[in-house]
Amino acid sequence: STLDNPKIAVVMLGSADFWTRIAGEAPPHASFVQDATTVLQREQIRVAEITTAVETLEYADSYGHPSKAARLELAALLMATFEELTQLRLQPDAPSTSMTDAVENSASA
């Protein structure tokens, strides 16, 4: 593999069900988030899933753009997620993990 796994991290925002509700239509590949997460974890790439917090943000439109008020909240959430992913990178034996609840809880603290 040509991937430099320790340098790669992926953040999944929301769930397929959530984005279906926002867009008002089912995506052509509803299993994308789960399929991608499975592949990334198999390749030992760090994955964070932010669902609850993303789903409670205020959105400006059906394209998924956060409202101006929600942008600061989203920025803080993403910063906490990236910090958590960085800490995992510094742990050489850290497993690939989904950090949905842990990251969301630390971002709101």
Give pLDDT tens digits for 64-75: 899 999 999 999
Average pLDDT of the segment spanning 31-46: 88
Q: What is the pLDDT of residues 7-30, one digit of tens each?
A: 788 898 888 888 888 888 887 887
The rounded distance, in Å, linking the Cα atoms of 14 and 17 is 8
Q: pTM, whole model, 2 decimals?
A: 0.69
pLDDT for 58 beyond 90: yes
96 neighbors 40 (Cβ within 8 angstroms) = yes
